[in-house]
Structure 1
């Protein structure tokens, strides 16, 4: 999240990112492909969760953490980072806890929402980040952020159809809650960034551990059902696709400007909607499309904020982590 005295022009900011002279066209193409592959991987993880739908959400969270841990060595090899250093254990544990709760809420939300609607509501993390930052990060909320926040708030009301009690259900509240806890996880990441902590692999490792903890805790209230047959493949897919998305995001940020990556990651909504339509005959209502457009537009308004005096910088250097960039890390 950027500091105060924000000046932005969304179209100019995006063009500046695309036309960066520091990257070759082949590198930009690779970054774009990697970003789309990451978005597709996240949608595939959600698809695996939908295929496991008879399985309780707590159990899915548990298996997400279990198989995620098994793939950690691959992420460690790819990133060259240690997965455990013993530093900042409390803050990393807090981030892992918030992220795991967000994941559990997301799994619950897809039980009663279409994949597209659940993914649209998950974009609320940017909204809650702006609300929480002035409280916990001591950032002053710039007046330029207000239109974006209002657009996101209005879009949320449209998606859940607040005026229609038959459409506004408990699952939508879980989707909104998932966005809130994702934002809380981003706040912790920002604190860690201020302390100079940069190990993305260790953040992911803690997330897997607390996915196990949260999953086991919630399973106490559920009926445990061991996967059978092909269900083991879908359970493994929860961890595989999430970590493959992480690897694709790492490559993307290495080859293309982070603003371009953040814009393209909104293709997640499209992939989720297509998966729901093709495999489960889900159809987004006109209200979902309209509300989703407002949420995406509002999030982009928040994304393109840029401090004055840095108009020549084409690489999106920021003092705090941008929630859209953290999106590629995990929930």
Structure 2
């Protein structure tokens, strides 16, 4: 634990992380590059989902899990971890379920929001995590976290424009629901961390399985659209890009301090905004820019209270991890 005010100053923590690096400068550069590549990979995954827009969200979630599952042996080989041990099946199943529901809501949200707005709302996971942690974990909410929560709440109100009925629509609710279920998944990750569980590969494996299950369940009320031609490439890209992001994140944590990685992962929002603008001519409103800035600022303020499980879990994001 920090014994000085630096504990509640994330920018001071970032400065300390940079100064405390004992690795070579080249190693730090590699870590930064790997983090940015992880952000880009998550953005590519979102772009693949947007390219599959004729496909319903349940079906997209299903293919995300199916193709992700096919790439699991590659992740296991790279990480050196087995993807199934049979331990903690209950908690891992719960994490997979919550993460898959969050992914489904994220895919729903990008059907009616810009990629930038959808990604901004996914950052609410930190907000919900702080609210839920005192209820489900052996943690208390420090008074110093309250300003960060207030800033995020204000930013969310601006992004969804709660005073404007046409802007505050169901898709915004989907985006917030995705953040909530991401936080629930992180709570389970924290429980696993407390029990000494450390296998990211097995967490990813369960996530793929439950993405398939959740996708199939949601598809019961949807019209199935079989991918055709290049759509198979986008469908495979859902799983491949998410796997690539996970591998890049692993390399990043191996080369640079986790505080630096956490700061740099906010570049994912910028990448989503740029992609939406370049390929779909999406325009962020003044309220989105202002509210998004507040959400990022508030999330950074909460970073010092973030349980280890959330900092290391990148499999939803989208995402995101929640993704």
TM-score range for the pair, normalised by the shorter chain length: over 0.9
Q: 1:10 Cα shift?
A: 2.5
The whole-number CA distance in structure 1 between the counterparts of 2:299 and 2:139 is 18
Q: Hey, what does 2:197 align to over in structure 1?
A: 197
Q: 1:115 Cα shift?
A: 0.2
The whole-number CA distance in structure 2 between the counterparts of 1:196 and 1:10 is 27
Q: Hey, what does 1:77 align to over in structure 2?
A: 77
Q: Are 1:222 and 2:209 an aligned pair? A: no
Q: Are 1:8 and 2:8 an aligned pair? A: yes
Q: Hey, what does 1:167 align to over in structure 2?
A: 167
**Equivalenced residues, count:** 315
Q: 1:6 Cα shift?
A: 8.8
Q: Are 1:323 and 2:310 an aligned pair? A: yes
SS across alignment from 2:85: coil
Q: Which runs of 5+ in 2 are unaligned?
A: none
Q: 1:232 Cα shift?
A: 0.1
The whole-number CA distance in structure 1 between the counterparts of 2:11 and 2:174 is 34
The whole-number CA distance in structure 2 between the counterparts of 1:7 and 1:29 is 26
Q: 1:85 Cα shift?
A: 0.2
Q: Are 1:53 and 2:53 an aligned pair? A: yes
Q: Which runs of 5+ in 1 are unaligned?
A: 306-317
CA contact (8 A) 2:189 2:309 kept: no
Query: Taking structure 1 as the reference length, what is the TM-score of the superposition?
Result: 0.93
Q: 1:21 Cα shift?
A: 3.6
SS across alignment from 1:139: coil
- 1:254-269 matches, cutoff 5 A: 254-269=254-269
Q: 1:12 Cα shift?
A: 1.6
Q: 1:328 Cα shift?
A: 5.5
Q: 1:18 Cα shift?
A: 1.3
The superposition leaves residues 89-123 of structure 1 with CA deviations (integer Å, 9 ceiling, x where unpaired) of 01000000000000000000000000000000000
The superposition leaves residues 230-286 of structure 1 with CA deviations (integer Å, 9 ceiling, x where unpaired) of 000000000000010000000000000000000000000000000000000001001
Q: Hey, what does 1:296 align to over in structure 2?
A: 296
CA contact (8 A) 2:190 2:310 kept: no
The whole-number CA distance in structure 2 between the counterparts of 1:163 and 1:216 is 36
Question: Aligned pair in 2 of structure 1 residues 136, 6: CA closer, same or farther (>3 Å)?
Answer: farther
The whole-number CA distance in structure 1 between the counterparts of 2:53 and 2:29 is 36
SS across alignment from 1:293: helix
- Structure 1 segments of 4+ aligned residues over 3 angstroms from their partners: 327-330
SS across alignment from 1:7: helix
- 1:1-331 matches, cutoff 5 A: 7-305=7-305, 320-321=307-308, 323-327=310-314, 330-331=321-322
The whole-number CA distance in structure 1 between the counterparts of 2:105 and 2:11 is 34
CA contact (8 A) 1:6 1:144 kept: no
The whole-number CA distance in structure 1 between the counterparts of 2:314 and 2:244 is 14
